[in-house]
Amino acid sequence: MQAAYTIAGMKPEQVDAAYLLVEAVSPPPDIESWRAYCDTPGGVAGARRDLRVATNPRGHVKGLCLCRQARHAVHGAILDVPVFVVASAADEPGVTSAMVEDLCALAGRLDCAAVRIRTGAAARSFTRMEVPRRIGGGVALILDPSPMAEPPWPVAQGLPVKT
C-alpha cells in the first residue's frame, strides 16, 4: 500500500498520462480533443474549473478529477465534481480517500458548503472506502450516482463513414 499521494493541479507533462484515465468516462474525448481542452485558458487550473491529479511517490498518475464551483438548491455554493476516476490496482481506497480529502479542503478554501462527486466511473472506488458524510471543517460530501450532464470537452458525433 502506498504511503502517500500528491494531489495537485494537472501539469502539462501529465496531460497524456491523465488521458488514459479520462478514457473511462462516458463519452470519452479523443486524444486531440483532450489535449485541446487541457490547453485552453483555465483548462489546467482555472477559477471555474480545475483538473486535479493524484500521483504516487514515483510520479505516476493514479487519479483524475475535474471540479468546478456550482450552485446547489439545498447547500448553496458547492464544489461540483462531474469527473472522478481512480486507476490503482494496489490502493484504490487510498487514492480515493486522498482525492476526497483534497477536494474537501479545496471546497473549504472556496467557501463551498459541500462537495458533490458524480460517482459514475468511480462507483467501485467508493464502495471499498468508508465515506463520512461531513469532512474537515463541516464540508458535506454528496455522492451522486447520476452521470455528468454533458462532457466539458468536444465529443465526436459517430464514427467516420467510408464512401
- Please compute the mean of the pLDDT values over residues 13-33 and round it to a whole number: 86
pLDDT of residue 43: 47
Give residue-wise pLDDT tens across range 119-153: 775 666 676 665 555 555 678 888 888 777 777 77
Confidence of residue 111 (pLDDT cuts 50, 70, 90): very high
Question: What CA–CA distances, in Å, run from 95 to 34, 115, 159?
Answer: 23, 17, 35
Can you tell me the distance from the alpha carbon of 19 to that of 17, in angstroms, rounded to the nearest whole number? 5
pLDDT of 66 over the 80 cut: yes
* Nearest to 65, CA basis, from 118, 28, 113, 29: 118
Name the residue with cell 466511473.
Answer: 121
Can you tell me the distance from the alpha carbon of 109 to that of 13, in angstroms, rounded to the nearest whole number? 27
At 143 the three-state DSSP class reads strand
- Domains in the chain and their CATH numbers? 6-144 (3.40.630.30)
Can you tell me the distance from the alpha carbon of 153 to that of 106, in angstroms, rounded to the nearest whole number? 23
Phi then psi for residue 36, to 5 deg, are: -65, -40
Inter-axis angle of helices 31-39 and 15-22, nearest 10? 120
Confidence of residue 1 (pLDDT cuts 50, 70, 90): very low
pTM confidence score:
0.81
Q: Where are the alpha helices (DSSP H) in the chain?
A: 15-22, 31-39, 92-109, 123-127
Name the residue with cell 498518475.
Answer: 61
What is the sign, positive or negative, of the torsion defined by CA atoms of 39, 36, 23, 115?
A: positive
